[in-house]
């Protein structure tokens, strides 16, 4: 689907929602709909007109890079030109994203329109990936695999968690990434029991599990992969946690196909971890969609009410976190196919022992 067909689809959604216009302020949604990549842009879509408001810093790049929009220069807060382009009637705005202060500025500038809070209008299109989007994510996942491969070859080599994270980011950039898709997690020993640990300036511990969670970004698209390594012989509870987590992850991958409810998929993994008496140690959801955003729909959670469809890209990432001892998470990124799912991440999930 080209940007032009995304624009055609959003026109149809706006009409179906009974809106006369939509003000798109989420920069990822703006990028998705017209290609703008700057930090200050608002896309206004009316019946028959699409206008990107941006400021002088971005005019030349926006004119060159975007498609299917008029690019209009506005002042720094972009509000001074809003009334000129919004028109009249029922005007939607992205309620999840607009601050109270900005809503106040909308109200002040657009006194003659009916402002309508909306949620998920553009995100609903983004949830199914086009072949070009899947190709970008596949490339990003391959780049992260290169960095994981170097880590497996070299071990942690006496480095601190923070040094390892920095080196992994460098490897991904050298392999063609625009950057890391989120702040890389390297967490050893008891620190690994924090699902989103911040790497410390402390050496990676021996005889422990080390959680390494990273992804690359390519053409704006994110990859996301976690592997947990052993740095020597493990205490039995950590060995058991790894084995249970891997069983849960493999079972969820095997159950991943179109038509499955996200809550039911979460239950496949959670059931295995709970049966091992570790259910309380798996506090987060099974996974999430990934695209231009690192975390986006569909949400694979206990309360998840979505249904997997061909073309969604999601993570499958159960974790077990033992306070004061250590943690394990095993995360793959997959694309849902007509009869199952295809792995985008390529590193083995067998437990790898490497040096601290």
- Residues at the contact surface with ligand GLY, assessed by CB under 6 A: 182, 213, 224, 295, 317, 331
Using the structure block, give the residue that is written with the tokens 């149809």: 12
Report in angstroms how near the CB of residue 331 gets to ligand GLY at its nearest.
6
Closest residue by beta carbon to ligand GLY: 213
Which is nearest to 285 in space by CA: 301, 307, 269, 304? 301
The Cα 73–Cα 56 span in angstroms is 6
Pick between residue 37 and residue 194 the one whose CB is nearest to Mn ion. Answer: 194
CB 172 within 8 A of CB 216: yes
Report in angstroms how near the CB of residue 340 gets to ligand GLY at its nearest.
22
Partner from ligand GLY, Mn ion, none binding residue 296, C-beta < 5-8 Å depending on class: none
Partner from ligand GLY, Mn ion, none binding residue 301, C-beta < 5-8 Å depending on class: none
Pick between residue 92 and residue 220 the one whose CB is nearest to Mn ion. Answer: 220
Pick between residue 66 and residue 315 the one whose CB is nearest to Mn ion. Answer: 315
Pick between residue 230 and residue 314 the one whose CB is nearest to Mn ion. Answer: 314
Residue list 275-334, contact with Mn ion (CB under 5 A): 315, 331
DSSP secondary structure letter of residue 350: S
Q: Which of 20, 213, 293, 306 binds Mn ion (CB under 5 A)?
A: 213
Partner from ligand GLY, Mn ion, none binding residue 54, C-beta < 5-8 Å depending on class: none
Pick between residue 266 and residue 317 the one whose CB is nearest to ligand GLY. Answer: 317
Report in angstroms how near the CB of residue 321 gets to ligand GLY at its nearest.
13
Partner from Mn ion, ligand GLY, none binding residue 182, C-beta < 5-8 Å depending on class: ligand GLY
The Cα 308–Cα 337 span in angstroms is 10
266 sits near Mn ion (criterion: CB under 5 A): no
Partner from Mn ion, ligand GLY, none binding residue 161, C-beta < 5-8 Å depending on class: none
Q: List strand residue ranges (DSSP E) for the chain, in order.
A: 21-24, 41-46, 49-54, 70-73, 90-94, 114-118, 179-180, 185-188, 209-214, 216-218, 221-222, 225-230, 287-289, 296-300, 313-316, 319-322, 326-329, 332-337, 340-343
Structure token pair of residue 93: 């705005």
Window 214-253: contact mask with Mn ion (x via CB under 5 A): ----------x-x---------------------------
- The CA dihedral of 119, 120, 122, 127, to the nearest 10 degrees, is 180
Partner from Mn ion, ligand GLY, none binding residue 118, C-beta < 5-8 Å depending on class: none
Pick between residue 20 and residue 213 the one whose CB is nearest to ligand GLY. Answer: 213
Report in angstroms how near the CB of residue 167 gets to ligand GLY at its nearest.
18
Partner from ligand GLY, Mn ion, none binding residue 133, C-beta < 5-8 Å depending on class: none
216 — alpha (psi -120 to 50), left (phi > 0) or beta? beta
- HEC letters along 90-118: EEEEECCCCCHHHHHHHHHHCCCCEEEEE
DSSP 3-state assignment of 81? coil
Pick between residue 121 and residue 187 the one whose CB is nearest to ligand GLY. Answer: 187
Report in angstroms how near the CB of residue 115 gets to Mn ion at its nearest.
35
Pick between residue 122 and residue 314 the one whose CB is nearest to ligand GLY. Answer: 314
220 — alpha (psi -120 to 50), left (phi > 0) or beta? left
CB 325 within 8 A of CB 242: no
Report in angstroms how near the CB of residue 137 gets to ligand GLY at its nearest.
14
Report in angstroms how near the CB of residue 224 gets to ligand GLY at its nearest.
5
Would you call 163 exposed, middle or buried from its count of C-beta atoms within 10 A (0-12, 13-18, 19+)? middle
The Cα 13–Cα 202 span in angstroms is 51
User: 51: which strand partners?
Assistant: 44, 70
- The CA dihedral of 249, 254, 257, 260, to the nearest 10 degrees, is -70
Binding site for Mn ion (CB under 5 A): 213, 224, 226, 315, 331
């Amino acid at each position: 689907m080209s940007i032009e067909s995304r624009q055609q689809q959003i026109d149809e959604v706006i009409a179906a929602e009974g809106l006369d216009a939509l003000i798109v302020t989420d920069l990822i949604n703006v990028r998705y709909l017209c290609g703008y990549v700057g930090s200050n842009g608002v896309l206004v879509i009316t019946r028959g007109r699409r206008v990107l408001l941006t400021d002088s810093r971005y005019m030349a790049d926006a004119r060159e890079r975007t498609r299917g929009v008029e690019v209009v220069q506005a002042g720094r807060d972009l509000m001074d030109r809003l009334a000129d382009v919004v028109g009249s009637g029922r005007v939607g705005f992205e309620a999840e994203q607009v601050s109270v202060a900005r809503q106040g500025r909308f109200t002040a500038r657009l006194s003659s329109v009916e402002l309508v809070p909306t949620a998920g209008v553009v995100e609903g299109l983004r949830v199914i990936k086009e072949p070009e989007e899947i190709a970008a994510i596949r490339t990003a996942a391959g780049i992260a695999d290169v960095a994981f491969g170097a880590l497996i070859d070299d071990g942690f080599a006496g480095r601190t968690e923070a040094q390892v994270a920095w080196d992994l980011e460098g490897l991904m950039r050298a392999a063609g990434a625009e950057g890391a898709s989120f702040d890389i997690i390297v967490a050893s020993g008891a620190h690994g029991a924090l699902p989103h640990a911040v790497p410390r300036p402390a050496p990676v511990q021996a005889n422990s599990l080390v959680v390494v969670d990273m992804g690359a970004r390519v053409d704006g698209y994110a990859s996301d992969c976690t592997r947990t390594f052993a740095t020597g012989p493990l205490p039995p509870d950590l060995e058991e946690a790894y084995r249970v987590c891997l069983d849960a992850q493999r079972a969820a991958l095997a159950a991943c196909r179109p038509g499955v409810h996200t809550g039911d998929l979460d239950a496949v993994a959670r059931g295995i971890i709970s049966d091992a008496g570790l259910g309380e140690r798996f506090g987060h959801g099974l996974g999430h969609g990934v695209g231009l955003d690192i975390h986006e729909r569909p949400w694979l959670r206990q309360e998840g009410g979505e249904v997997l469809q061909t073309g969604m890209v999601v993570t499958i990432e159960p974790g077990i976190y033992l306070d004061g001892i250590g943690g394990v998470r095993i995360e793959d990124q997959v694309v849902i196919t007509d009869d199952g799912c295809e792995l985008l991440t390529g590193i083995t999930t067998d437990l790898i022992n490497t040096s601290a």
